[in-house]
């Protein structure tokens, strides 16, 4: 439900353009009209009414997509009143869609988008089945204006984090999920009996079972957090049994079974800078992203620290340091997440007709020396200001003027 | 009678490796009349320098952290000391010569705020040894007594170029205990890692954490926090006076020893450096008043996300600001963190440290310093490369009171040296070799120099290897 507020034409000229869907183009123009990309390439005629942005010497990429975190769902980590990403008391919370918890006025949004992140997954958490994740653009006065897609997937947790809810054993977690999935299908077959209470109690509420049906019919992905190799294998097994569209997230030991994941055609959301061993994943290592990509797994990168979603760039740069080819790293924060989340027809690359989320950088987006020069979200130029830039301006000369 | 423990002679620097070093600038070992128990050889360092051949790294970009960046330069170190740094350095016949073409060389990176070893991986309750959260004032606990040398996070940090850390108690308490200043090397015991001659730090904490942890018993407010520090130091003043008097006169029985007050008295004597977790500008100003009341100095405000608001005050007081490049927002007192914090403190003449407080961040302090430097440069608050390098070398060395020994590449300094694959402020740079006191503790291209902890054996796959 893209809302295009502005009828405006913008021509970003002379930059090195990284469409992501194809090779980079030197001295190229990106033409934005009415919130969409109207043209990309050299020799693009520039309409007389276009606002011209000189990008000579600059790099132009699609807006970056963070495939994780809780953008819009958390303001201050330690303040419960500002957290919306977890519904209380419901182990199977499949019906919980986070969208109406989004805060379009969140301070994190300007802080993040002025560093080139234009789109993010807002993910529920905290349960065995935590709810429905949604994809948002980091602009818009209302929830409706921010939403790109809802739901993107239903989040389930096969990591150590959900064990208590699953019954204290990894085996119980898997069995619990199986029971819930079977009961959802049973519920679907016997809706009438259910409404007359002529059925044994089922493993989750009616609303949650109903919400799982699109997952069980392969219409909505199940986004599974799993880190240990055996948990990843359990996720793959469940996906085979129930014919699920699976997305793996976290997946710290995925490099150990990269071939199996590739063979299953399952995409993986990876946080490249994960490398602290835990009993959930003793095999966690920096090379995970590169190893998966080498095996042919479709990967998208995450920065799960929502306040520093802007460090997605640093995550990508480090993935490159540890073996991921640069072009694939850029793809893993643009076009690949768009594909994984089912919005590649509109997002993720600089192609004609796509939503005009575009960033002009002073150089390599992964480098610290690089600054953001322009950000466009749905064709709207985003002012490069945030609460943090205001604090900086206030205190750059002491004492401050209040 | 004098207890046995007072009969032993002061032997603080009882380590061969330390005896050859220049004395730490601050603080000087206390005069006898101004000491109580800590001047005795209690819990001594057993650190020993490893024997190694001399090493000459040549044709590298040498970043000295003393204002120089020498392109095509060389550095020679021998017996754990830097011998020479410059455009041309002669190689002794027995030197291992490293071709540094295209590489960068910096001092070993120092993290003045780490919980490695006290909050060790794999992060279960069994390794949760960082907060003695049983009393708001626990100046009597020492981080070294929690430190686990087999923490698998240690080799990861070494691979990030870290050569020295300050391992701190956590921030649950107003006064959390003594820090441990450690050489980050593979070792069986923490004693083997203790930086010889380094003064202790005392961890103190402002703000939300103590008042949250103790809300039922107090302190439950920021004013309660302040009253808590003051009550503790008032007690410590009396304790110090009793001991100082007895040490002068040796009349009668010695005062009863009190481990908690012993640490605080050492702060009052200037022998122990206050390392103060404090986020908000107004609270830092309160803590500076507290320090004035009792006549001690706060060495550094750690986390200090609002240091930029009082950068002038911090510069005037000579208190460092140990900060992150970009952390913010995880709690209310962290809401006003900005990217330019480090740059603004630097511009005001303050002393900046980029610290980690995190087992991930410690692996890339070079990147974090680069990030903070570039944020300043982009905002029109220029930071030089040398200044940014000092944020993770010379300045944390000062915060730990060991800046005459480590933190720069100068003849006579300890040979803590990192060879980087590229400009260390680039996201793509990796530490290739890490020398700690001349010992090659890490070599990215040689598995023989990639130390692994006991914890990792048989359960954590080796770097580059399969399960």
CB A138 within 8 A of CB A376: no
Residue A154: what pLDDT? 98
Looking at CA atoms only, how far is residue A397 from chain B in angstroms?
A: 9
| Residue in A76, A108, A396 nearest the CB of B344 | A396
Task: Count Cβ atoms within 10 A of the Cβ of residue A214 and give its class: 0-12 exposed, 13-18 middle, 19 or more buried.
Answer: middle
Give residues with Cβ within 8 angstroms of A397, minimum separation 6: none
**Chain A residues touching residue B152 (CB < 8 angstroms):** 277
- The b/e string for A180-213 (b: 16+ C-beta within 10 A; e otherwise) is bbebbbbbeeeeeebeeeebeebbbeeebbbbbe
- The distance of B366 to chain A (nearest Cα, Å) reads 11
> Which pLDDT belongs to residue B40?
59
Angle at A367 between CA A278 and CA B380, to 5 degrees: 120
Among partner residues A317, A396, A400, which is closest to B381 by beta-carbon distance? A396
Determine the Cα–Cα distance for residues A223 and B265; give it in Å rounded to an integer.
56
CA angle B58, B64, B65 (to 5 degrees): 160
Q: Which of residues 412-451 of B touch A (CB under 8 A)?
A: 425-430
Of A76, A321, A366, the CB nearest to B335: A76
Contact B203, B277 (CB under 8 A): yes
Shortest alpha-carbon distance between residue A6 and chain B (Å): 30
Residue A2 has pLDDT above 70, yes or no: no
pLDDT at B39: 55
Which residue ranges of chain B lie beneath pLDDT 70? 1-41
- Contact at CB, A277 and B460, closer than 8 angstroms: yes
| pLDDT attached to residue B30 | 40
Judge: B208–A321 Cβ closer than 8 Å, yes or no: no
Give the percent of chain A with pLDDT over 90. 94
**Cβ of A320 and B428 within 8 Å?**
yes
Per-residue pLDDT, B445: 96
pLDDT > 70: percent of chain A: 98
pLDDT confidence of residue A200: 86
User: What is the pLDDT averaged over residues A159-184?
Assistant: 95
Beta-carbon contacts of A264 under 8 Å, excluding residues fewer than 6 positions away, are: A236, A239, A240, A246
Three-state DSSP string of chain A: CCCCCCCCEEEEEEEEECCCCCCCEEEEEEEEECCEEEEEECCCCCCCCCEEEECCCCEEEECEEECCCECCCECCCCCHHHECCCCCCCCECCCCEHHHHCCCCCCHHHHHHCCCEEEEEECCCCCCEEEEEEEEECCCCCHHHHEEEEEEEEEEECCHHHHHHHCCCHHHHHHHHHHHHHHHHHHHHCHHHHHCCCCCCCCCCHHHHHHHHHHHCCCCCEEEEECCHHHHHHHHHHHHHHCCCEEEEECCCHHHHHHHHHHHCCCEEECCCCCCCECCECCCCCCHHHHHHHCCCCEEECCCCHHHHHHHHHHHHHHHHCCCCHHHHHHCCCHHHHHHCCCCCCCCCCCCCCECCEEEECCCCCCCCCCEEEEEECCEECCCCCHHHHHHHHHCCCCCCC
Identify whether the C-beta of residue B153 lies closer than 8 Å to the C-beta of residue A284: no
Per-residue model confidence (pLDDT) at position A129: 98
Most A-contacting residue of B330, B349, B466 (CB-CB within 10 A), to test interface: B330
Which site among A111, A258, A317, A392 would you substitute to test the B interface, given the most B Cβ atoms closer than 10 Å to its Cβ? A392
Q: Which residues contact A196 (CB under 8 A, 6 or more apart)?
A: none
Res B459: pLDDT: 93
pLDDT of residue B418: 99
| Distance of alpha carbon A279 from the chain centroid | 26
Q: CA of A79 to nearest chain B CA: how many angstroms apart?
A: 7
Query: What is the predicted pLDDT for the residue at A7?
Result: 63
Average pLDDT over residues A228-233: 98
Check if B382 contacts A (Cβ < 8 Å): no
Q: Does B364 touch chain A (CB under 8 A)?
A: yes
Q: Which residues pair with B300 in a beta bridge?
A: B275, B320
* Residue B6 pLDDT: 31
pLDDT at A1 over 60: no
Phi and psi at residue A35, in whole multiples of 5°?
85, 0
Q: What is the average pLDDT across A79-90?
A: 94
Q: Which domains does chain A have, with CATH numbers?
A: 1-63+348-402 (2.30.40.10), 64-346 (3.20.20.140)
One DSSP character per residue, B174-228 reads SEEEE-EEEE----SSGGGTB-TTPPPEEEEE-THHHHHHTTTTS--SHHHHHHH
Write the CATH number of the domain with boundaries B108-407: 3.20.20.140
pLDDT at A229 exceeding the cut of 90:
yes
User: What confidence score (pLDDT) does residue A147 get?
Assistant: 98
Chain A: give the shortest CA distance to residue B175, in Å. 22
Q: What residues of chain B lie within 8 A of the CB of A400, using their CB?
A: 309
Which two three-digit tokens encode residue A52? 């011209």
What pLDDT score was predicted for residue A6?
A: 53
Rounded mean pLDDT of A218-234? Answer: 98
Instruction: Encode pLDDT of A185-207 as tens digits.
Output: 999 999 988 888 888 889 999 99
Contact between B460 and A283 using a beta-carbon 8 Å cutoff: yes
Q: What pLDDT does B15 receive?
A: 33
A399 exposure class (CB count in 10 Å sphere: 0-12, 13-18, 19+): exposed
Contacts of A399 in chain B (CB under 8 A): 312
- What pLDDT sits at residue A196? 87
Contact B285, B312 (CB under 8 A): no
């Amino acid at each position: 439900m893209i809302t295009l507020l502005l009828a405006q034409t913008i021509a970003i000229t002379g930059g090195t353009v990284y469409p992501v869907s194809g090779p980079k183009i030197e001295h190229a123009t990106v033409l934005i009209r009415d919130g969409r990309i109207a043209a990309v390439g050299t020799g693009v005629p520039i309409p007389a009414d276009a606002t011209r942005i000189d990008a000579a010497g600059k790099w132009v990429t699609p807006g970056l997509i963070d495939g994780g975190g809780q953008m819009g769902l958390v303001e201050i980590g330690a303040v419960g009143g500002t957290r919306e990403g977890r519904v209380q008391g419901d182990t199977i919370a499949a019906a919980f869609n986070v969208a109406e918890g989004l805060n379009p006025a969140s301070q994190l949004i300007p802080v993040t988008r002025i560093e080139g992140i234009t789109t993010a997954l807002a993910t529920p958490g905290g349960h065995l089945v935590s709810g429905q994740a949604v994809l948002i653009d980091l602009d818009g006065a209302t929830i409706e204006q921010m939403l790109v897609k809802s739901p993107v997937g239903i989040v389930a947790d096969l990591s150590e984090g959900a064990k208590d809810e699953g019954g204290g054993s990894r085996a119980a977690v898997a069995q619990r999920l199986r029971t819930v999935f079977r009961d959802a299908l049973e519920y679907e077959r016997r809706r009438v009996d259910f409404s007359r209470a002529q059925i044994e109690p089922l493993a989750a509420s009616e609303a949650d079972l109903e919400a799982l049906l699109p997952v069980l019919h392969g219409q909505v992905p199940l986004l599974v957090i799993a880190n240990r190799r055996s948990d990843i294998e359990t996720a793959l097994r469940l996906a085979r049994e129930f014919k699920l569209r699976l997305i793996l997230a976290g997946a710290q030991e995925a490099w150990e079974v990269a071939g199996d994941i590739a063979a299953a055609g399952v995409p993986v959301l990876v946080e490249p800078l994960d490398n602290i061993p835990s009993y959930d994943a003793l095999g966690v290592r920096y090379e995970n992203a590169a190893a998966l990509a080498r095996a042919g797994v479709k990967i998208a990168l995450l920065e799960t620290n929502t306040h520093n979603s802007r460090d997605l760039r640093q995550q990508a740069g480090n993935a490159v340091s540890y073996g991921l080819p640069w072009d694939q790293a850029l793809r893993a924060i643009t076009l690949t997440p768009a594909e994984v989340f089912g919005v590649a027809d509109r997002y993720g690359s600089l192609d004609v007709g796509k939503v005009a989320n575009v960033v002009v950088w002073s150089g390599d987006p992964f480098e610290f020396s690089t600054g953001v020069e322009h950000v466009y979200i749905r064709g709207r130029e985003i002012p490069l200001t945030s609460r943090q830039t205001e604090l900086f301006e206030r205190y750059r000369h002491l004492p401050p003027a209040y | 009678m004098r207890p046995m423990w007072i009969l032993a002679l002061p032997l603080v620097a009882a380590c061969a490796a330390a005896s050859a070093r220049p004395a730490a600038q601050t603080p000087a070992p206390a005069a006898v009349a101004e000491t109580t128990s800590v001047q005795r050889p209690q819990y001594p360092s057993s650190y020993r320098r490893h024997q190694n051949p001399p090493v000459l790294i040549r044709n590298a970009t040498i970043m000295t952290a003393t204002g120089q960046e020498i392109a095509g330069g060389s550095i020679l170190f021998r017996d754990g000391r830097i011998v020479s740094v410059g455009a041309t350095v002669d190689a002794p016949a027995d030197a291992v010569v490293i071709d540094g073409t295209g590489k960068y060389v910096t001092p070993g990176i120092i993290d003045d705020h780490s919980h490695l070893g006290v909050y060790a991986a794999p992060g279960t309750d069994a390794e949760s040894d960082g907060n003695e959260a049983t009393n708001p004032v626990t100046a009597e606990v020492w981080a070294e007594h929690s430190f686990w040398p087999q923490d698998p996070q240690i080799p990861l940090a070494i691979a990030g170029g870290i050569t020295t850390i300050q391992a701190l108690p956590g921030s649950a308490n107003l006064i959390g205990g003594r820090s441990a200043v450690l050489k980050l090397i593979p070792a069986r015991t923490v004693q083997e890692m203790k930086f010889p001659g380094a003064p202790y730090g005392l961890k103190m904490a402002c703000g939300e954490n103590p008042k949250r942890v103790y809300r039922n018993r107090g302190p439950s407010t920021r004013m309660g926090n302040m009253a808590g520090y003051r009550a503790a130091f008032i007690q410590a003043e009396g304790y110090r006076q009793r001991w100082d008097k007895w040490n002068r006169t040796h009349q009668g029985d010695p005062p009863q020893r009190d481990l908690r007050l012993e640490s605080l008295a050492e702060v009052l004597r200037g022998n122990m450096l206050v390392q103060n977790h404090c986020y908000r500008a107004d609270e830092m100003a309160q803590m500076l008043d507290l320090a004035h009341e009792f006549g001690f100095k706060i060495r550094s405000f750690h986390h200090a996300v609002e240091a930029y608001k009082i950068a002038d005050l911090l510069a005037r007081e000579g208190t460092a600001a140990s900060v992150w490049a970009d952390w913010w927002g995880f709690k209310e007192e962290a809401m006003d963190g900005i990217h330019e914090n480090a740059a603004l403190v630097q511009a005001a003449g303050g002393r900046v440290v980029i610290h980690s407080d995190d087992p991930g961040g410690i692996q890339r302090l070079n990147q974090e310093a680069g990030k903070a430097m570039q944020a300043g440069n982009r905002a029109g608050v220029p930071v030089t490369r040398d200044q940014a390098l000092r944020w993770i070398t010379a300045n944390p060395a000062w915060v730990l009171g060991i800046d005459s020994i480590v933190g720069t590449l100068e003849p006579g300094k300890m040979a803590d040296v990192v060879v980087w694959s590229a400009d260390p402020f680039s996201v793509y740079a990796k530490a290739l070799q890490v020398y700690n006191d001349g010992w090659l503790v890490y070599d990215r291209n040689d598995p023989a120099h990639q130390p692994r902890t006991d914890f990792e054996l048989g359960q954590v796959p080796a770097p580059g290897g399969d399960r």
